[in-house]
Amino acid sequence: MQQNTIKNIIFDLGGVLIDWNPEYVYLDVFNGDRKKMQWFFDNICTTDWNENQDAGYPLAQATQDRIAMFPEHKELIEMYYGRWVEMLGEAIQGSVTILKQLIDNKDYQVVALTNWSHETFPIALDRFDFLHWFEGIIVSGEEKTRKPFNDIYEITLNRFNITAENAIFIDDNLRNIEAARAMNINGIHFSNPEQLKTELKNYNITVL
């Protein structure tokens, strides 16, 4: 790949531009006991379960399904989406600064691709002005599929007329980056804004 061919930059949202963490609710609920909290995340309200809602499954139904499986944890399960807004942290300011510079650079089309429930995404849209800067956002819950499945990357490429080799995808989940790379989309596995700046330089993209 020639390093001057990048025309499109695709941002993940949660973990890259927005801090989201269920610990903000449950660490207090479990009185600071991380071991008990982690057991709950590993066995009751699991990552896989939450990701199913990211693919469009109704939150209320998902909650009832889980309560039917684990009735003794009813109150804790109801908190997951009942107090979801408290899990939504602040913007990751260093990343937002980078985003603004890329948006302002007319050499690039900048879009977003996020695993996010269509029921809760409007809360983020209201809270974070920078979400309105993108030329478009693919929300998994609206598409009824999610990363790392190929179809959501294909939807993104087709909707915004993107050639895979001319795009960079930025995500904090390595699984999602590897899936994008398998489709010839360049990937940056995000860890922090300074690391993102450094890796963008590999594509001749300089941000301050």
| CA-atom Rg of the chain in angstroms | 18
pLDDT at 208: 85
How many Å apart are CA 55 and CA 14, to the nearest integer? Answer: 15
Tokens of 80: 């997951």
Q: Chain-wide mean pLDDT for the chain?
A: 96
pLDDT at 4: 60
Residue 145 pLDDT level (bands cut at 50, 70, 90): very high
pLDDT at 2: 44
What pairs with residue 168 in β-bridges?
9, 186
Cα-based torsion angle of the residue sequence 157, 162, 165, 171 in order, rounded to the nearest 10 degrees: -60
Share of the chain above pLDDT 70, in %: 98
Res 125 pLDDT > 90: yes
**Packed helices 150-159 and 174-182: angle between N→C axes, nearest 10 degrees:** 70
How many Å apart are CA 187 and CA 19, to the nearest integer? Answer: 20
The 8-class DSSP code of residue 186 comes to E
pLDDT at 193: 98
Largest CA distance in the chain: 57
Nearest to 157 by CA among 146, 170, 166, 145: 166
- Tokens 């993104």 — which residue? 156
Res 1 pLDDT > 70: no
Res 144 pLDDT > 60: yes
- Rounded to an integer, the average pLDDT of 17-28 is 97
pLDDT at 8: 98
What does each C-alpha distance from 23 to 99, 110, 177 come to in angstroms? 27, 31, 25
- Rounded to an integer, the average pLDDT of 139-153 is 98
What is the pTM assigned to this prediction? Answer: 0.94
- Tokens 């009751």 — which residue? 44
How many Å apart are CA 144 and CA 54, to the nearest integer? Answer: 8
- Rounded to an integer, the average pLDDT of 116-130 is 97
Query: pLDDT for 30-68, tens place per residue?
Result: 999 999 999 999 999 999 999 999 999 999 999 999 999
Residue 100, SS3?
helix
pLDDT at 26: 98
